[in-house]
A = this chain, B = another copy of it.
């Protein structure tokens, strides 16, 4: 904001559309009409997800708004990654406390979408007493190939791409005002694993979820939807030794099991797909029974806290 008063429509243009990606090749009616219009080519299906992010819930007061909006956008894109979809379009609904906040939030949305070459296809804005965003994102997968939660089979291996627990420890360091906290950057920047999701789907993986609410809750979604049990070994998680070294075993357990917002991809695959080792880490197996058992060095842990409940 340069001091002069911009109208709502100019504000939106300035914030959201400055240097933004070209429309996607499938788009026939661009941002600015009552709705956007897109072709979905033969043999492809539409994949859509929506994600809310709210000040004081998904980011702490004082956190830079452009970073908050960048995170919100990446969190939404992560759901497309977990389905193995190519990300194409986004629609942003932004509620902000002021015109200045709107511009900062819009710049964050625009930055993330530009980084991942995703078109902003539409949106809406309103003024209120909180800052909040809803990002709806759309993409495409070949018909019948979306990676879902209900495809895990007994005997499948469980794998992860990305770190778990690092983001929640980063948030704690940010809240404590640490200037040089090791984990801070894991909270500040989310990297939706879009390329990895597409690659997994191309390799034939059918069951995947993004870990947004802690490993226990999200692996539990897969186990329940697939009607299998699951055993996970904490010491096999990427960065486990580092976590223990930095914060101690007890905090490390809590961070991996219950800490949210890492946006790792957790997936299952039949035994014998060892080549996945090149870019993923095996952390457990699917078995008979129900529920998820979390082990540390072969011993089951009890009384673990599940992920975040917004209305607890």
CB <8 Å contact, A34 and B83? yes
Cβ of A138: which chain B residues have Cβ within 8 Å of it?
Answer: 46, 48
Q: Please, how many angstroms separate the alpha-carbon atoms of A1 and B159 in the complex?
A: 39
Residues on A lying within 8 angstroms of B by beta carbon are 6-8, 11, 28-29, 32-40, 42, 45-58, 79-80, 82-83, 85, 89, 91-95, 98-99, 102, 121-130, 132, 134, 136, 138, 141, 143-144, 146, 148-150, 208-210, 225, 309-312
**A146 — nearest CB in chain B belongs to which residue?**
B37
CB proximity of A262 to chain B, nearest CB, Å: 14
**A137 — nearest CB in chain B belongs to which residue?**
B35
Q: Please, how many angstroms separate the alpha-carbon atoms of A141 and B129 in the complex?
A: 38
Between A and B, 11 residue pairs with Cβ closer than 8 Å are A7-B311, A29-B146, A34-B208, A35-B79, A38-B48, A39-B45, A48-B136, A91-B136, A93-B134, A129-B129, A130-B130
Q: Please, how many angstroms separate the alpha-carbon atoms of A85 and B150 in the complex?
A: 32
Q: Please, how many angstroms separate the alpha-carbon atoms of A25 and B93 in the complex?
A: 28
CB <8 Å contact, A128 and B126? no
CB <8 Å contact, A33 and B149? yes
CB proximity of A143 to chain B, nearest CB, Å: 7
Q: Please, how many angstroms separate the alpha-carbon atoms of A130 and B8 in the complex?
A: 22
CB <8 Å contact, B128 and A130? yes
Q: With A49-B122, A93-B136 given, can you name 10 additional A-B contacts, CB distance below 8 Å?
A: A8-B311, A28-B144, A28-B146, A34-B49, A34-B80, A35-B48, A35-B82, A37-B47, A48-B91, A52-B95
CB <8 Å contact, B93 and A52? yes
Within 8 Å by CB of A80, from B35, B94, B149, B311, lies B35
Interchain residue pairs A-B with the least CB separation, the first 3: A35-B49, A134-B134, A93-B134
